Amino acid sequence: MSIYGYTRINNHRPTPKNLGTRNQAKIIRKWSEEHGLEIKKIFRDIESNSASLELPNLKKLISLIKQGKVAVLIVARLDRLTRINSSPQSTAQFI
């Protein structure tokens, strides 16, 4: 099973408490270990336009998802994936 993680911060806005990319990666790894899952890779974006889907590593991840190469995607918090859509259903639909 191909399991990936994704972390993101906006370098022009204050980072939410304890949600720098290192802490996000820790949260992702801890959750995956607790659930017996092995992460293949954690993608990371540090960008100024965090609401965009044009982030380089997010685009790579979306491409892998569309190719059926991602079985599970883990994020520390849903708004770390994108802020374009506010509901989990809307976020799932954009992928």
The pLDDT value recorded for residue 43 is: 96
Which of 57, 54, 63 lies closest to 75, judged by CA?
57
The pLDDT value recorded for residue 27 is: 95
- Supply φ then ψ for residue 70, to 5 degrees: -120, 120
Number of structural domains (the chain) is: 1
What parts of the chain have a pLDDT lower than 70? Answer: 48-52, 82-95
Taking the model in full, what pTM does it have? 0.80
Which of 82, 86, 71 lies closest to 39, judged by CA?
71
The pLDDT value recorded for residue 47 is: 81
In Å, what is the CA distance from 69 to each residue of 40, 60, 85? 11, 11, 23
Which of 45, 57, 50, 56 lies closest to 14, judged by CA?
50
Range of the domain at 19: 3-94
Instruction: Report the CATH number that the domain containing residue 40 is assigned in CATH.
Output: 3.40.50.1390
The pLDDT value recorded for residue 1 is: 75
